Structure 1
Amino acid sequence: MEFNTSPVIHDFSPFFKIHEDGSIQRFKKPEFAIPSYDPQTGVDSKDFVISPETGVSVRLFIPKSTDPDRKLPLLVYIHGGAFCLGSASSPTFHNFINLLVSEANVVVVSVDYRLAPEHPLPIAYDDSWSALQWVASHSAGNGPEPWLNNHADFQRAFLGGESAGANIANNVAIRAGVNPELINDVKFVGLLLIHPFFGGKEVDKMYKFMCPTSSGCDDDPRLNPVADPGLPSMRCSRVLFCLAEKDWLRNRGWAYYEALGKSGWGGEMEMMESEGEGHGFHLFNLTCEKAVTLMSRLASFLNQY
């Protein structure tokens, strides 16, 4: 990390600092996992730029059993990182998705949205919505990406993400329900919310900095979906909440779970809580017992249709 002598005017450790000269000091250097065929799992991956104007891309994953006569469930996945860290190409997220594809035998589109604060929120939400529309452009089998045309079942589609990505996925699901005509005839049957980030007073200041138009964790429908008038129309019939007992975001996740059941949405909800674990524990040890249990639950949820 290079030393910057310019005074710090905003300190959002452990994520980033803003210096008086306008420079941004990040605390985690970007890492890149090359998309390729993984001989251990049989999963193949590649990148596709969906918007040359913005540089927004997706990373696609397909499992080894890709029978052209049998379409597979499709998951549009949005990575976490507090809206300001990570990417679809980060080894942490790449390895997790690679394993999920192998375990669940699904097709995954992992969205690489632009990061705050260089790209203020709600840009990440809009990038993810654009990615969803790009995915939907394949529903008739004639989109620009053959993997989706040939292998994805658009009648068994899912949205999901972890942490900030779960927040974005939830918002996109609501947006899809309000604007169903914009995603063709894709049938979203489920939403995965893994350790979802729905804010709290502890991060209110940082979120407002990244999203200057935000009214805060109580009134902003992105942080408090119950405040979104489109919630009853959310585009899916089932939601799986995956929380962690020692996650500081746990209580907000439980509060949304309880409120969603009373919102008029009318779908089915499931709850899984990992005892004794903290936020994102599964990403850092994919083979530990509770991460394996979580992965099994995710795979089951994706294959119930």
Structure 2
Amino acid sequence: MIGDFLIYTTHLNHTPEYHRSVIVRTNGAVVPIECWYFRKGNVSSDPIKPAWIPLSSTKSGEGHLSFSLCLMNGDWLTERTSTVYYLGELIHIEASVSMTNHMPLKLYIDHCVATLNVGKDSTLRYSIIDHNVCLLESKAEDSFSTFVLPRDERELDKLWFDLDVFHFLGDDCSLIFITCHLKVAPVDQRDSRNKACTFQKVQNVWTPLEESSIDSCACCHVGNCGAHKGVVSEAGLKWEGEASIGPLLILDTDVTKLATESLNEAEQRMQERSPGGVESEVVLIVALTVIAVSVISASLLALFLYRKHKQTRVNQ
């Protein structure tokens, strides 16, 4: 597909038979054939009654959908290269979909889970998002997780959310994987299954990411926004898929303190040993060095003068 055209290309191959002759009067040939059709044109006609749906209603909705998750830096402009996080930080996650040659669609996150192993079917799992885009993790008392509105609201192919760093209790490795089920829907289709809701602890209410009716998030309170239904287009194509990130290494901030504690203790001992602190000790060392150099220089000069004087008396 190029622009508004669907292009069909084939080749006719001609291979002559020589019938064991010692002479050749013709040669082979390849004839290229290329047909251009308007993607949104109706190819049906009165004499022909095709069994297929007209081109305007099928090809306009077809295209390759590629879902992905990636880690972002705090400015939401560049992708984060490190997968190491510390407790107390936020994980900036961008969900996106590639919609080449596709009608305008809007991205949603149906549900997300954190696991110890690759895949959402791990035994130990924690639901981050559920009930058709309800950010359950934002309801935790010590969590600052929230959906983030993109700078450009016209970016329908992206959805951002901040996730407060955590790890599983009793997990020595502190590694987590995050798997999300993503989907797209027509832009004008906004209901309890197509929204992005965050829990506001102060107001004790679920609020949508965008300016719309707050009723779309009411189902998050009861934990039931309708059974999941596979999102299928008119052409029978599924508008959903899964994406994962990980492993993410989660470190406790107390561990990093142990690495710098010995250095701090050494500096403190140096300050205690010198009444004036580190600066006084440095000044004392410099002063002793200067005195030592002066004494050595004076000794060498005296020795030189003594030998010169002795040599002069011998010559006389």
TM-score range for the pair, normalised by the shorter chain length: under 0.3
Give the helix-richer structure, 1 or 2.
1
User: Which has the higher Rg, Structure 1 or Structure 2?
Assistant: 2
State TM-score, norm by structure 2: 0.24
State TM-score, norm by structure 1: 0.24
